[in-house]
Copies of this chain bind each other. A is one copy, B any other.
Amino acid sequence: MTEMLPPGSTIGILGGGQLGRMLSVAAARLGLKTVIFEPGGDCPASHVANYHLQAEYTDKDALRRFADSVDVITYEFENIPTSALDILESLKPIRPGREALRISQDRLTEKEFLTSLGLSVAPYADIPDAAALEAALGTIGTPSILKTRRFGYDGKGQARLMSPADAPAALVAMNGTPAVLEGFVDFTAEVSIIAARGLDGSVSCYDPGENVHREGILRTTTVPASLSAALRTDAVLLAAKVLNALDYVGVMGVELFVTPGGLIVNEIAPRVHNSGHWTQNGCVVDQFEQHVRAVAGWPLGDGSRYADVVMENLIGEDVERVAGLAGERGVAVHLYGKGEVKAGRKMGHVNKVG
């Protein structure tokens, strides 16, 4: 029997964006309170959380106050400074744990970890400098993608190489930081699997969703994915393998490429994931509540899928379509409370059911 935080307990969430917002709502549904740690003011999560502690990740006093005010700590993004984690970890449990963060914060470490589990990843090479890039282009070739090892998201910190002549510009785009070169994968589809592991070690996976990206940003996720039964099982097994290897607690997003040779892991995210938003209108217990349940030591909930769903992100001016979308049959609207519309900014999403 694992310790289950009783209703009225408080979950601390690092990061106050839309994922923190939807985690807060899920926590409230279970009678749990939330405190958001987020440097920005008027952040999406602050609108629905019990308390918003507005401070920088370098503010040690604030971090200690945050830890003192909560029973367990989780996060909505993986790029949390190590110095902050060191302080927090000494005061309260952090779930998912440090190992998951250490691995997912660095693309090279992540690929080495996945490879060590026997999972397939794209061909890759460590690129500390120009010489390494030249050598790697000899083996991996082009087209390929140079990516910063750390702090990349939504296509940021990436440069595409269509020929070796693109190498100098790609290196400039890395801005002097360590990088990794990834070989091109000829995939037929991108899918992701949202998997959860409870404090008691139980694992529950959502049905895989099929993703469409544009300009490095997720546009739609469709369930069910066009995936054979065998590959569906492969996806579940590999996700469970990753979670078990990390003694993971919480929800993880695992992005996969579907190829004629099987599934290739693109990346893992130790948190709720944009490609799991469909679960809000396709399952009794969605990914946000599942994550909260896991980190609070509750039993995992029923994540079986009861409907076909297409999740569509509302990016930038897409949000102006909301009046029309809201009146459509089977459409659930989810907006994030962001005041300013900017190009490329995720303003909300809709789930189109049935």
- Least CB distance from A290 to B in Å reads 11
Number of copies of this protein chain within its complex: 2
Tell whether A91 is near chain B: CB-to-CB under 8 Å.
no
Residues of B within 8 A of A293 (CB): 326
Q: Which residue of the partner chain B has the closest CB to A29?
A: B334
Taking CB atoms and an 8 Å cut-off, the chain A residues in 323-348 that contact chain B are 323, 326-339, 348
Given the interface pairs A30-B335, A31-B337, A48-B28, the reply to whether A299 lies near B326 with Cβ below 8 Å is yes
Q: Which of B21, B298, B326 contacts A28 (CB 8 A)?
A: B21
Q: Which of B8, B25, B307, B322 contacts A25 (CB 8 A)?
A: B25
Q: Which of A50, A328, A333 has the most CB of B within 10 A?
A: A333
Q: Which of B33, B285, B299, B326 contacts A298 (CB 8 A)?
A: B326
B47 close to A50 (CB less than 8 A) = yes
Tell whether A319 is near chain B: CB-to-CB under 8 Å.
yes
- Least CB distance from A98 to B in Å reads 27
Given the interface pairs A4-B323, A337-B8, the reply to whether A330 lies near B284 with Cβ below 8 Å is yes
- Least CB distance from A139 to B in Å reads 49
Tell whether A354 is near chain B: CB-to-CB under 8 Å.
yes
Residues of B within 8 A of A335 (CB): 7, 29-31
Tell whether A306 is near chain B: CB-to-CB under 8 Å.
yes
Given the interface pairs A4-B323, A284-B353, A307-B306, the reply to whether A333 lies near B299 with Cβ below 8 Å is no
Q: Which residue of the partner chain B has the closest CB to A329?
A: B302
Q: Which of B33, B302, B337 contacts A330 (CB 8 A)?
A: B302
Given contacts A25-B29, A298-B326, 5 further A-B contacts (CB under 8 A): A7-B322, A28-B337, A30-B335, A298-B323, A302-B330
